[in-house]
Every structure is written in C-alpha cells, then in structure tokens.
Amino acid sequence: MNKPEKNFMGHSIKKVLVGAISFIAAVFIISTGEALAAEQYYNYVMDQGYFSCEIPIDWDLVREKEKDEEYNIYEIRLIKSSGGKTPLSIYVSYYAKDNEDFSDYKSFLKRNSKNVAGETENSREKYGPVKKIQLNGGKGFELERERLVYLSPKSKSDASEAIKELLYVLPLAAGGFYVLHYTAPREYFEDLLPVFKKVAESFMPQQSALLRK
C-alpha cells in the first residue's frame, strides 16, 4: 500500500498566512509608534493654572478667552486636518463649579451618554455605556459615541459623515470637573488616537485634587 502523500501545499499556505498576519501586526505597531514619534509636543498651561498638558506642536490651537470667562468653562481645542471632511479635534476643558452649562459632572455624563430623546441608539447615533476609569491617580469616567453629523447643518443638504468620539470626565473633589474629548471621522479614529492618549496621560489638574474614590 502506498503511503498517503503529505499536503505540502497546505503547509505552504499556512506559512504564508502566518507571515502575512505577522507583517500586518508589525505594521500596526510601527504605525502606532510613528503617530507618536512624528508629533512633537510642548507643555501648555491654562490661565490661572487650571490645568496643564503636553500638546502637539503641529496641531492648530483654538482658544476663546471671552467665552471662557463668561461661561466659566476654560477650554482649548486642538485641530488637525484628516482624510475626511471633518477635522480631528482634541478638547481639553475645565468646567468650574459655577459654570453656566452643567451643575456637576453627573449632569454632564447624563446629557452626553444619550441624545435629547433619551435614546442610546438609533439610525444616526450610538452611545456606549459610561465606564469607570483611573487617570493620573484620579477617579474618572469614559464614554464613547458614534454619530452621523451633517456637513452643512444650515443648508438643505443631507450630506453626512460618520464620526467617533471618546471622552474622559474627571471630577474634582472641591467641585467642578475636567473633560478630555477626542473626535474624528470614524474611519480615521484609530490613526491619531495615540496622540489623544499622550495628551491625556500628560494631563495635570490644578492644585485642587481629583476624586480618589
């Protein structure tokens, strides 16, 4: 009786697949590293020392000081063009205890974890659950959401783009809270997520301590 022939073709295909998967994984790791390595950062300190963080040099920084003082919300917005029609944005915001928009961090979470109708998902929006996190030794919360946003809200055009957002909410023990908010076209969200995380990891609050429990 002849011995069954070994399936050398099968082994070859497996080797090719393993090699391809390894290559893709390596490219992903390198790309993530390059997103950080390609950016240069400098230390930004908000007026009155409300917070500081490392921000990328080649992102545009937008600040509206008059509105900050009027609403007691001290905020910077970092903007970088993306491959989509909506730019990449990172917001770093301090909501003072007596700010004009939210009574406290719980109010912020409630209003940002669902739409105005109280829904967490429909054909244009999807809100993930609020999750507890620890950031820089303090208590915090994380939420993600995806939305279809109109590109020209003031026109009759229905042209939209899918965006994805990640928010960190950090309460202060003495009242008030911080929000770190990353938004990008959904298909480009992962590309510069490491930059947002770099900003978040370097974030330092004012002298008032973050909640610890």
Q: Give pLDDT tens digits for 130-163.
A: 999 999 888 999 999 999 987 766 666 678 899 9
pLDDT in tens, 160-181: 899 999 999 999 988 999 999 9
Q: How far apart are CA 146 and CA 162, in angstroms?
A: 7
Strands (E), the chain: 41-45, 51-56, 60-62, 73-80, 88-95, 125-127, 131-135, 138-150, 160-171, 177-185, 204-205
User: pLDDT tens, 68-91?
Assistant: 999 999 999 999 987 778 889 999
Against a cut of 0.85, is the pTM above it? no
State the average pLDDT over residues 183-202: 95
- For 14-43, what is the mean pLDDT? 54
pLDDT of residue 89: 96
Collapse the DSSP code of 117 into the 3-class scheme (helix H, G, I; strand E, B; otherwise coil) and give the result. Answer: coil
